């Protein structure tokens, strides 16, 4: 049986803050059980270029996303993880859910995750798009978690990407050492716990193999904010936890553009 992948992106997460706060038991448990790798993001440490690199396996020069406006981007030629998994094996079902429109909304400036309308019609690709910029990420992330838990439980897509931005939003408003950031970490951790439980249930009842991946696109300075080249802003990580299978045999230091090819290789393995 092939491995199924659930990639969880948490925007602007200072992992050390989360783990030190005691507010992220699910993250801590997944790190404890899984493979842990550090990752250093390229400058500028912004969401647009960061997620474009993580999700397409391309460097900033290759995808040409330089900021969050995406003008002049090259994403039509830099296929995302879900698309590449499908083109690698056309029986693959894929799912994406995000509240930041550039990642998934075809009417926006991206999207980084390609629309693939034919596969949507065929029931092989599903995209849940919400607008956290307008409606707030605390609320929108909860909707994204609901939709993803439902999709994992009911359909069990082969490759999924789910994205949360409550943490980044809180850090921009209140800094990365304040109560609001810790509260956002707690809420996000609860979403992760719920998704992990949905995956674990499938593993137990259907004997499936899953790989649950956690990562972030950049950290935050203590006062909130990112984009620069300080170690705290560039700090990212990959937690890759096998459920119903072994953890992946990856190095302890990964480049952001290496995640897509590594995941595609795990999908090819039987
Ligand atoms: Zn970001």
Percent of the chain whose pLDDT exceeds 90? 99
CA–centroid distance, residue 19 to ligand 1 (Å): 19
CA–centroid distance, residue 122 to ligand 1 (Å): 32
DSSP letters for 36-54: EEEEEPPSS--HHHHHHHH
First vs last C-alpha separation in the chain: 6
pLDDT of residue 269: 75
Give 8's pLDDT tier (boundaries 50, 70, 90). very high
CA–centroid distance, residue 261 to ligand 1 (Å): 22
Give 270's pLDDT tier (boundaries 50, 70, 90). low
* Least confidently predicted of 112-116, 127-131, 139-143, 266-270: 266-270
CA–centroid distance, residue 201 to ligand 1 (Å): 31
* Spatial separation of the C-alpha atoms in residues 44 and 60, rounded to whole Å: 9
pLDDT of residue 156: 98
Averaged confidence pLDDT in the chain: 97
CA–centroid distance, residue 78 to ligand 1 (Å): 20
Mean pLDDT of 116-134: 98
CA–centroid distance, residue 150 to ligand 1 (Å): 25
Q: What is the pLDDT of residues 206-260, one digit of tens each?
A: 999 999 999 999 999 999 999 999 999 999 999 999 999 999 999 999 999 999 9
| Of 140, 127, 133, 111, the residue nearest 48 (C-alpha) | 111
CA–centroid distance, residue 128 to ligand 1 (Å): 19
- DSSP state, residue 67: S
Residues forming beta bridges with residue 165, ordered by sequence position:
none
CA–centroid distance, residue 55 to ligand 1 (Å): 13
The tokens describing 147, both together, are 């939709």
CA–centroid distance, residue 209 to ligand 1 (Å): 30
Query: With 90 as the cut, is the pLDDT of residue 134 above it?
Result: yes
Distances (CA, A) of 234 to 78, 91, 170, 217: 23, 37, 18, 8
Q: If phi over 0 gives left and psi between -120 and 50 gives alpha, with beta otherwise, what is residue 28?
A: alpha
CA–centroid distance, residue 47 to ligand 1 (Å): 3
Query: Which pTM was predicted?
Result: 0.98
CA–centroid distance, residue 134 to ligand 1 (Å): 16
Query: With 90 as the cut, is the pLDDT of residue 1 above it?
Result: no
CA–centroid distance, residue 9 to ligand 1 (Å): 10
Q: What is the pLDDT of residues 148-188, one digit of tens each?
A: 999 999 999 999 999 999 999 999 999 999 999 999 999 99
CA–centroid distance, residue 99 to ligand 1 (Å): 12
179-206 and 137-154 are packed helices; what angle lies between their axes, rounded to 10 degrees?
Answer: 10
Mean pLDDT of 78-91: 97
- DSSP state, residue 197: H
Q: Are the CB atoms for 180 and 168 separated by under 8 Å?
A: no
Q: Are the CB atoms for 85 and 267 separated by under 8 Å?
A: yes
CA–centroid distance, residue 45 to ligand 1 (Å): 8
Query: With 90 as the cut, is the pLDDT of residue 24 above it?
Result: yes
CA–centroid distance, residue 196 to ligand 1 (Å): 23
Nearest-Å Rg of the Cα atoms of the chain is 17
CA–centroid distance, residue 255 to ligand 1 (Å): 17
């Amino acid at each position: 049986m092939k491995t199924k992948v659930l990639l969880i992106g948490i925007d602007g997460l200072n992992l050390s803050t989360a783990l030190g706060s005691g507010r992220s038991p699910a993250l801590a448990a997944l790190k404890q059980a899984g493979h842990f790798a550090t990752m250093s993001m390229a400058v500028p440490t912004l969401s647009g270029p960061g997620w474009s690199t993580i999700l397409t396996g391309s460097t900033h020069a290759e995808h040409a996303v330089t900021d969050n406006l995406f003008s002049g981007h090259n994403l039509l030629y830099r296929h995302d993880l879900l698309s590449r998994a499908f083109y690698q094996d056309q029986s693959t079902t894929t799912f994406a859910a995000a509240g930041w429109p550039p990642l998934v909304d075809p009417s926006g400036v991206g999207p980084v995750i390609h629309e693939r309308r034919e596969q949507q019609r065929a029931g092989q690709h599903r995209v849940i798009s919400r607008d956290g910029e307008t409606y707030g990420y605390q609320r929108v992330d909860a909707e994204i978690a609901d939709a993803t838990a439902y999709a994992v439980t009911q359909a069990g897509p082969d490759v999924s990407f789910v994205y949360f931005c409550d943490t980044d939003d809180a850090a921009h408003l209140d800094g990365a050492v304040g109560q609001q950031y810790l509260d956002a970490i707690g809420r996000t951790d609860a979403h992760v716990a719920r998704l992990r439980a949905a995956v674990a249930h499938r593993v137990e009842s259907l004997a499936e193999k899953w790989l649950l991946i956690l990562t972030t696109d950049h950290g935050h300075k203590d006062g909130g904010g990112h984009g620069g080249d300080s170690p705290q802003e560039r700090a990212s990580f990959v937690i890759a936890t096998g459920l119903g299978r072994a953890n992946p045999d990856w190095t302890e230091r990964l480049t952001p553009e290496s995640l897509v090819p590594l995941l595609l290789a795990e999908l090819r393995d039987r």
